[in-house]
Amino acid sequence: MIKNLQGNYFDPEIETAPREDILRIQLEKLRHQVAWAFERVPWYRERFRDLGVKPEDIRSLEDVRLLPFTDKQTLRDTYPFGLCAIPLDSVVRLHSSSGTTGKPVVIGYSRRDLDVWSDCVARMVMMAGVTPADRVQMAFGYGMFTGGFGLHYGCEKLGCMIVPAGSGNTERHLMMIGDYSTTVLIATPSYALHMCEVGESLGFDWASSSLRVGLFGGEPCTLGMRREIERRMHIICTDNYGLTEVSGPGVGGECLAARDWNHINEDHYLWEVINPVTNEPLPEGQEGELVLTPLSKEAFPVMRYRTRDLTRVTTGPCACGRTHARMSKVRARTDDMLIVRGANLFPSQVEDVLVGIQGLAPHYRIVLDNEAGMDRITVMVELLPDAFSDSFEQMDHFRQHVVDRLRQALLITPIVKLAEPGSIERTVGKSKRVEDKREKF
């Protein structure tokens, strides 16, 4: 299988370039990008002056550490066009992030930015085993969100037939799979699961459907959830990585040889992994916060963007033949981290436990509150119809089993509540699975 995948590149010359060539390209582009931002964006000029840095100080890739960090707040402070490095006449598109609080984050693109972006997406789509012969069904929403248009133009560039159905209307999606024999589905993992459930209830035959690949994004997809979708939809699910602030999807993609790792398009993105508390760089392979500097941006150059995503990166060789570094699947964000009774807890840990328990659906909700000054965590889990028995004793035994499994993994004892099948809200966008009702001090 892996043998077949070799040679299946969108841009073989750069995707399999020797590492020294990649590093050379990165340094050249970094120096250009820093000068570009310094000359054209007053905000950067001021920051550079504050730090006593000039573009010519960048002599090696390590010198990126001399540059200021940017984060979501930077983009809010400069909203809407404060970071724009080209005349607004030359900006051909705007996108904004799905930010849940405060002002949105807006990013402009030049024509060349869009071209680079769709190249990056085409590469990662091909990494996932998609070819120009594929028919791609879009179940992401379009609009300001980068996922819809980003994947759309990337797939089109690759030469796929794209069916721009958009999000929602699950029955129509099922009809389109049947009528147009689509082979690739682009969706959030929770929407894919929803499609799965609706299809099953309508007697849709996933086993003999034309779909073969899922390109999932918009929210994290745990290993358990991926296996669940793969089993029920009879497809290969792939992950990819990107964020609006550095352009959108296409920063990296999962190759089929080394599942669970995303190759970063290093000729367009310089990565760093830092300790999110001390901001110090971490040795290769150690988990920390991913910091990205896009290297090819014209309209909205972004320096050392703090992604808040926790990952680790390896430059070791990959069986697919690509030489670009790989980042592990993002399982947690620095701001997803919950502190419960003084211990760190990620919702993904809860999900990992739940998907391993037979009799539970892969949907859950976490509620945090206080009782007598102590943090209390309640996990609502959804019972599968087959797991129900006409006995309180057995149901309680099952509930206790869930409590025990969670306690072993989280080292705190949660309250577990059993919910009826289908009762926990399915979301199309980022799943809102945590509700923190604790009093803030």
Partner 1 sequence: MAVSQISVFLENRPGHLKKILDAFEAAGVNVRGYSASDTGDYGIARFILDKPDVALDVLRKRGCAATQAQVLCIRLPDKPGELARVMGIIAEAGINVLYSYSLISTIIAIHVDDTVSAEVALQHQPIELISQEELLEIL
Point out which residues bind partner 1 (CB under 8 A).
201, 383-385, 387-392, 395-396, 417-423
Q: What is the 3-state secondary structure (H, E, C) of the chain?
A: CHHHHCCCCCCHHHHCCCHHHHHHHHHHHHHHHHHHHHHHCHHHHHHHHHHCCCHHHCCCHHHHHHCCCECHHHHHHCCCCCCCCCCHHHCCEEEECCCCCCCCCEEEECHHHHHHHHHHHHHHHHHCCCCCCCEEEECCCCCCCHHHHHHHHHHHHHCCEEECCCCCCHHHHHHHHHHHCCCEEEECHHHHHHHHHHHHHCCCCCCCCCCCEEEECCCCCCHHHHHHHHHHHCCEEEEEEEEHHHCEEEEEEECCCCCCEEEECCCCEEEEEECCCCCCECCCCCCEEEEEEECCCCCCCCCCEEEEEEECEECCCCCCCCCCCEEECCCEECCCCEEECCEEECHHHHHHHHHCCCCEEEEEEEEEEEECCEEEEEEEEEECHHHCCCCHHHHHHHHHHHHHHHHHHHCCCCEEEEECCCCCCCCCCCCCCEEECCCCC
Q: Between residues 181 and 423, which has the closer beta carbon with respect to partner 1?
A: 423
Q: Between residues 335 and 390, which has the closer beta carbon with respect to partner 1?
A: 390
One-character DSSP codes across 157-171? HHT-EEE---S--HH
With the C-alpha atoms ordered 270, 104, 119, 239, is the resulting torsion angle positive or negative? positive
Q: Between residues 242 and 362, which has the closer beta carbon with respect to partner 1?
A: 362
Q: Between residues 201 and 208, which has the closer beta carbon with respect to partner 1?
A: 201
Smallest distance from the beta carbon of 427 to partner 1, in angstroms? 18
Q: Between residues 151 and 354, which has the closer beta carbon with respect to partner 1?
A: 354
Q: Between residues 60 and 201, which has the closer beta carbon with respect to partner 1?
A: 201
Smallest distance from the beta carbon of 392 to partner 1, in angstroms? 6
37, containing H or E segment: helix 19-40
Smallest distance from the beta carbon of 383 to partner 1, in angstroms? 5
Smallest distance from the beta carbon of 435 to partner 1, in angstroms? 17
Smallest distance from the beta carbon of 311 to partner 1, in angstroms? 37
Separation of alpha carbons 106 and 201, rounded Å: 40
Q: Between residues 186 and 377, which has the closer beta carbon with respect to partner 1?
A: 377
Q: Between residues 193 and 302, which has the closer beta carbon with respect to partner 1?
A: 193
Q: Between residues 57 and 197, which has the closer beta carbon with respect to partner 1?
A: 197
* Three-state DSSP state, 374: strand
Smallest distance from the beta carbon of 203 to partner 1, in angstroms? 11
Q: Between residues 243 and 383, which has the closer beta carbon with respect to partner 1?
A: 383
Q: Between residues 224 and 422, which has the closer beta carbon with respect to partner 1?
A: 422
- Residue 269 β-bridge partners: 294
Smallest distance from the beta carbon of 437 to partner 1, in angstroms? 17
Smallest distance from the beta carbon of 67 to partner 1, in angstroms? 53
Smallest distance from the beta carbon of 381 to partner 1, in angstroms? 11
Smallest distance from the beta carbon of 388 to partner 1, in angstroms? 4
Smallest distance from the beta carbon of 404 to partner 1, in angstroms? 17
| Torsion angle of the four alpha carbons 310, 316, 319, 320, in this order, in degrees rounded to the nearest 10 | 70
